């Protein structure tokens, strides 16, 4: 495999990252997202949300193989899934053709450094309970289970539990 090149995402990446994420959405079962992203929505949701900390891209052989976004939790988020203001939320997406090659772990090294630099106390990864690969991935990075949100509806009404994992920064 070619060397993994890591870099900060830029607005110019939005369309390519939307294509990657849309492939994951289309495959089903690993993300809570059910509706496709266009570049603008991806930019607003992952590259430049109001509480953004970082978003890193992994390239292999000049092709985008994955990305990982980190943002501050919103202390004003209503309900039982609100988190302290000094916690960060992580989202990871790796193209199916590149999974199992260390891309997620390489991205996480950059993301962890960004979390430390920003002063985050803890990182939350909230994962669908039926996403066994995602659960195993975050466990391999040192995340531990701390909560379970039961019967959270997806946008189509399907109820899926979410496992909440955390890692101290």
Nearest one of 21, 33, 34, 38 to 95, comparing CA atoms: 21
Flag whether 102 is in a domain: yes
Domain containing residue 107: CATH number: 3.40.630.30
Asked whether residue 137 is assigned to any structural domain, the reply reads no
Residues 161, 162, 163, 169, Cα dihedral to 10°: -170
Task: Tell me what pLDDT residue 76 has.
Answer: 82
Does any domain span residue 152? no
Question: Structural domain of residue 86, as residue ranges?
Answer: 4-120
Q: Is residue 156 part of a domain?
A: no
pTM over 0.85: yes
Alpha carbon separation from 142 to 73, 123, 137, 138 (Å, rounded): 20, 11, 9, 7
According to the model, what pLDDT value does residue 80 have? 66
* Residue whose pair of structure tokens reads 């509806």 in the numeric block: 153
In tens digits, the chain (169 residues) has pLDDT values of 589 999 999 999 999 999 999 999 998 878 888 889 999 999 999 999 999 999 999 999 999 999 999 999 998 877 767 899 999 999 999 999 999 999 999 999 999 999 999 999 999 999 999 999 999 999 999 999 999 999 988 778 889 899 999 999 9
């Amino acid at each position: 495999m070619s060397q993994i090149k890591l870099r900060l995402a830029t607005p110019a990446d939005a369309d390519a990252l939307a294509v990657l994420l849309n492939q994951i959405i289309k495959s089903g079962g690993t993300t809570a997202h059910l509706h496709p992203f266009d570049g603008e929505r991806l930019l607003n949701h992952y590259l430049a949300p109001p509480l953004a900390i970082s978003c890193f891209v992994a390239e292999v052989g000049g092709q985008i193989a994955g990305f990982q976004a980190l943002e501050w939790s919103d202390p004003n988020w209503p309900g039982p899934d609100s988190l302290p203001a000094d916690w960060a939320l992580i989202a990871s997406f790796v193209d199916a053709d590149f999974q199992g090659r260390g891309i997620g772990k390489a991205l996480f090294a950059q993301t962890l450094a960004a979390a430390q630099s920003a002063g985050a106390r803890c990182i939350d990864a909230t994962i669908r309970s039926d996403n066994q690969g995602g659960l195993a991935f975050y466990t391999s990075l040192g995340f531990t289970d701390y909560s379970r949100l039961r019967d959270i509806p997806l946008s189509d009404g399907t109820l899926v539990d979410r496992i909440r994992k955390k890692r101290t920064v």
